[in-house]
Amino acid sequence: MFFSRSIRRKLYGGLFIVAVMIVILTFSGLNGLFSYQASVSEFQFAMHEAPRRSNIITAIAGLAEPLNVEVADDPALWYGQKKTFLTKLEETQATIRRTHKKLDLLPNSRVYTPVRGRMNRTLVTIRNELFQMESLVEGLDLKAQREETLALLRKNIFYLLDIADEFPEHEENIENTIKEATEVYNAGFWWVGCSAVIALCMFLYLTISTNLGVVIPLRKLRQGASRIANGDTAYRVQVQTQDEMGELAKSFNQMADKFQDMVKDREQEIDARCRQLVRSERLAGIGLLAAGVAHEINNPLSAVSMASESIAERLAYLQPTDEQREDIEASQHYLNMICRESKRCQDITHKLLEFARGQDEARKRTDIVALINEVLEMVFHMSEYRSRELIFDRATPCFAVVNGPEIKQVIINIVSNALQAMDAGGKLVITLAEKSEEILLTFRDDGFGMSRETLDRLFEPFYTNRKDGKGTGLGMSISNRIISDHGGSLNAESPGIGKGSVFTIRLPKTQAQQLKRAA
């Protein structure tokens, strides 16, 4: 339950536990100090201020001293004895009053509370007896009552001594005080011990919960960040808490997923760039070779074409016999075949020269949407492709500084390849997305698709997988060179054979961006 709460609540809970620990320990310490102070105060009171039975007995015993003195039958001496006795009696009464006042100072403790009543009763009884003795003193002046009065006073003194013996002894009070102090000490010891154990348990709970809820998740996050920084992008942090640490771990894992995807994309991009670089190097070499070969072959092909056309024209003016007519028709057929194939070879050499040199037409602001519509309008009139569905619903213009005929040639190459790859009822979807600095063209068909080998060699010159032998294998190579010259990129993707293909063109809008990217 504790680990499903937020870190703020955990922090408040920890602070509350610390506060409780401080309160418990503070209360235990103060309780011990107060108990110690109370014990010391009781000891000081017992030693210096507590009522003592010895003081009462001494004062009462002092009353007997004047009565034990033998006095002759002289009234003056009797008066002196009486005066001395009254002085002792006043001193004893004063002692009793002082002792009675000390009862009000007795602490309310288990030592003095049980004996307080007995002390009070003893002192009251002694005080009353002293008042009676004071009334008997007058009999000392009369000779007839003197002996009787002395005997009665001595008897009362012994009676007071017996009563004084019932007053609690001072040593007994000290023993009770020591016993109470021992009990307070034991109780305080156990209280402090239990408080320390409770505080220790609370501290251990706080330490363990902080370690499990904060320290360990942070350590896992640090280890995860370190492993991902070292290249282990597949590592994920496992934090089971349902608090901010759990949310942080979840966000960390989401970030790691995105980072892993970015790394994979970068690796694929780097791999594609490497293949494109290798392909560019090959194309450069092939371009130089193609330029030389095309130049050397074009002149003989022109001569062959012109000679065959001339011979065909001469044969047309002849008036053969019936026997020669069949041979002349066969010769004209072969001459036409020579003319047709030589022109086909001239077209190939022309494309090779275009591939090697490129077109020098100036780039200008061109509507890409218009170019696509022109290509589609041209394709719509071709009967062999009427059974295919072409979808392009962009109506608003999209301008870029390009070589219009070259970009149009690229679109024609991609669209024609897609139409040839689809069966009747196939669908080609063209989309155009305009961004701040570039145009994104996508051609998505549901045709035959391409294998990995075809994708790797797609932009190589003279590579074709058409089985009818009509393709020259230069269309995609020329298209890739045109897009590269514009600072863009041409990428082909296919899930596999029979799953269609996707061609993507990224084309910068301005010539400055094209030159920057091409560099």
Which domains, from first to last, does the chain contain?
A: 2-190 (1.20.120), 360-519 (3.30.565.10)
Give the model's pLDDT for residue 175. Answer: 66
**Res 1 pLDDT > 50:** no
Give the model's pLDDT for residue 468. Answer: 57
pLDDT band at 3 (very low <50, low <70, confident <90, very high): very low
pLDDT band at 70 (very low <50, low <70, confident <90, very high): low
DSSP element (H, E) containing 491: strand 489-493
**Rounded to whole angstroms, how far apart are CA atoms 238 and 249?**
7
Phi, psi of 11 (to 5 degrees): -65, -45
Structure tokens at 501: 């293909």
The more confidently predicted of residues 30 and 178 is 30
Least confident of 62-71, 81-90, 407-416: 62-71
Phi, psi of 509 (to 5 degrees): -80, -40
pLDDT band at 75 (very low <50, low <70, confident <90, very high): low
Give the model's pLDDT for residue 386. Answer: 76
Give the model's pLDDT for residue 81. Answer: 74
Q: How far is CA 478 from the centre of its chain?
A: 53
Q: What is the mean pLDDT of the chain?
A: 76
**Rounded to whole angstroms, how far apart are CA atoms 90 and 421?**
141
Sequence-distant (6+) residues with CB within 8 A of 286 are 461
The more confidently predicted of residues 440 and 459 is 440
**Res 432 pLDDT > 80:** yes
- Amino acid (one-letter) located at 56: I
Question: Of all residues in the chain, what percent carry a pLDDT higher than 70?
Answer: 70
Least confident of 156-160, 422-426, 458-462, 468-472: 468-472
Least confident of 12-21, 150-159, 348-357, 443-452: 348-357
Give the model's pLDDT for residue 284. Answer: 52
DSSP element (H, E) containing 402: strand 399-402
Give the model's pLDDT for residue 218. Answer: 76
Cβ atoms within 10 Å of 379's Cβ, excluding its own:
18
The more confidently predicted of residues 54 and 433 is 433
Q: DSSP character for 448? A: S
Q: What Å distances lie between residue 237 and 7, 135, 209, 259, 461, CA to CA?
A: 19, 104, 20, 14, 49
pLDDT band at 4 (very low <50, low <70, confident <90, very high): low
Structure tokens at 358: 């490129």
**Res 248 pLDDT > 80:** no
The backbone region for 180, taken as left when phi is positive above 0, alpha when psi lies in -120 to 50, beta otherwise, is alpha
**Mean pLDDT confidence for 263-269:** 77
Query: What Rg value do the Cα atoms of the chain yield, rounded?
Result: 63
Provide the 3-class DSSP secondary structure of residue 201: helix
Give the CA angle between residues 375, 516, 478 to the nearest 5°.
Answer: 35
Give the model's pLDDT for residue 247. Answer: 72
HSE-up of 498 (CA within 13 Å, CB side)? Answer: 0
**Res 392 pLDDT > 80:** yes
**Mean pLDDT confidence for 190-195:** 76
**Res 173 pLDDT > 70:** no
* Residue ranges in 113-142 assigned as alpha helix (H): 113-136
**Res 242 pLDDT > 80:** no
Give the model's pLDDT for residue 502. Answer: 93
**Res 58 pLDDT > 80:** yes
Contacts 24+ apart (CB under 8 A), 219-223: 220/249, 221/248, 221/249, 221/252
**Mean pLDDT confidence for 93-122:** 78
Express each pLDDT in 268-325 by its tens digit. Answer: 777 766 666 555 555 555 555 555 565 567 667 666 767 777 777 776 666 667 666 7
8 A C-beta contact, residue 140 and residue 85: yes
The backbone region for 178, taken as left when phi is positive above 0, alpha when psi lies in -120 to 50, beta otherwise, is alpha
pLDDT band at 171 (very low <50, low <70, confident <90, very high): low
pLDDT band at 83 (very low <50, low <70, confident <90, very high): confident
Cβ atoms within 10 Å of 324's Cβ, excluding its own:
12
Least confident of 40-49, 245-254, 280-289, 316-325: 280-289
**Mean pLDDT confidence for 435-459:** 87
pTM reported for the whole predicted model: 0.40
Sequence-distant (6+) residues with CB within 8 A of 490 are 410, 459, 479, 480, 483, 484, 503, 504, 505
Give the model's pLDDT for residue 49. Answer: 67
pLDDT band at 443 (very low <50, low <70, confident <90, very high): very high
**Res 398 pLDDT > 80:** yes
Q: How far is CA 323 from the centre of its chain?
A: 100
Structure tokens at 403: 């070589």
The more confidently predicted of residues 405 and 469 is 405
Express each pLDDT in 468-505 by its tens digit. Answer: 556 566 778 888 888 888 889 899 999 888 889 999 99
Give the residues across from 432 on adjacent strands.
441
**Mean pLDDT confidence for 360-378:** 84
pLDDT band at 119 (very low <50, low <70, confident <90, very high): confident
Q: What Å distances lie between residue 321 and 133, 282, 318, 324, CA to CA?
A: 196, 58, 10, 5
**Rounded to whole angstroms, how far apart are CA atoms 118 and 96?**
14
Q: What is the residue whose two structure tokens read 């006073």?
A: 153
Q: DSSP character for 141? A: G
The more confidently predicted of residues 63 and 332 is 63
